Homo-oligomer: A and B are copies of this chain.
């Protein structure tokens, strides 16, 4: 295998990862004088802010996943390649991937983060992460299968473990998942499973620090906590998870909660590549970059978004790992690369914080926008509009809107399908059948 990309007189920019930062960069560069190669391990961009709605059966994967080839159909000097990048060989200006090597003139690492299990193998094996569409589908399948199994389970202990949901991590994803699951419990569970005692479903949201949404204002944290408690979520602050064994979450203080639905949204670490100098990595394994997002000691390697660590006066420990930083860095880097090509001087990055939003449930969200801090219905409407606007494509916007309106009116998440093992089948490979239970 090989990349099969023509060598032309154009300078080649290779972008690793098509998340918010990589996608924005590619979009801004597509009609420039560069040749652009985007490499991603999926053939689609994922709109991660809505992934929890896929997990909770409210949206379909295709509503929040956009095939790169479709986005860049009209770009002549753009190449997408579906591959995993294994190593960055700076001294040879090339990357090593699952489909071979590729030389670059400029490399932009925009590979984001992966879930951090803090080295605990038991947790890694058992936990349901929520960083990809695929993982969201896994969560949907697990949750629904566990309800089905609870119905036919003969042991009361096992039944309780099947109905307990433990979510570790009180950031935006943890808050959003707890909220949507508590609504599923309240509005759907007793209708779908009339012969299951719905009081048995318990939702625990576990956070190591003293407040939820620690990146937001104290007002937002307090409102989110109050909303969740009112919705019946057991919010456990100042609580550390130590281990997961025998289908039980084990806490630092020795307490345990039996659960088969153990959702882990507790932390991330930057994606990692072989053959890169580990001295370049900072806190959270992030790649240290200068004010132009240039990797220290290199003229041709850049990093943007969650994978990089860039400091400025207002952010001495680096920027928050959020979409807005990645998008703004993508925009500026596109402009800087064009300047460099013309021999002009690049511009330094300054993050403009547009605010933060998190949704908790129906008519309930929290928003910090500049000095305006709001919660409840207004924040919820802002959240809806901001996210609907960000979804790519008119068809997707329409389908998401219909689903939202529908779910709102009917109090129902209707995509409650358990779609079991699905393999990208290779003709040489033995077919795999997933036996039901």
A-side interface residues toward B, CB under 8 Å?
1-4, 41-44, 60-62, 65, 67, 69-70, 73, 76, 79, 81-84, 98-100, 124-126, 128, 133-134, 137-138, 141-142, 144-145, 148-149, 151-154, 191-195, 247, 259-262, 393, 395, 398-399, 402-403, 406, 412, 414-431, 434-437
Contacts and interface: CB of A to CB of B under 8 A. Distances in A.
Contact of A2 (B152, B426, B431): B152
Contacts of A437: 1, 82-84, 98-99
A125 B69 CA distance: 31
Given A99-B152, A417-B44, A425-B141, A436 B83 contact: yes
Contact of A84 (B134, B153, B403, B436): B436
Most buried by B among A393, A406, A423: A423
**Number of copies of this chain in the oligomer?**
2
Contacts of A62: 60, 414-415, 417
7 contacts: A60-B60, A65-B417, A67-B192, A84-B436, A133-B417, A133-B419, A419-B422
B422 A195 contact: no
Q: Chain A contact residues: over half helix, strand or loop, or mixed? A: loop
A65 B415 CA distance: 8
Nearest to A84: B436
B133 A424 contact: no
A43 B420 CA distance: 11
A426 B423 CA distance: 17
Contacts of A60: 60-62
Given A416-B70, A417-B62, A145 B424 contact: yes
Q: Which of A98, A191, A416, A427 has the most CB of B within 10 A?
A: A427
Contact of A418 (B42, B70, B414, B415): B42
Which 9 A-B pairs have CB atoms at the shortest separation, nearest pair first? Answer: A69-B192, A62-B415, A141-B424, A67-B416, A82-B148, A60-B60, A422-B422, A99-B152, A73-B191
B424 A2 contact: no
Given A2-B152, A44-B416, A398-B402, 20 more contacts: A1-B149, A4-B152, A44-B418, A60-B61, A62-B414, A67-B417, A70-B416, A79-B195, A82-B145, A84-B437, A98-B436, A99-B152, A125-B430, A133-B417, A138-B422, A138-B425, A141-B423, A247-B427, A418-B424, A420-B423
Nearest to A148: B82
A35 to B, nearest CB: 12
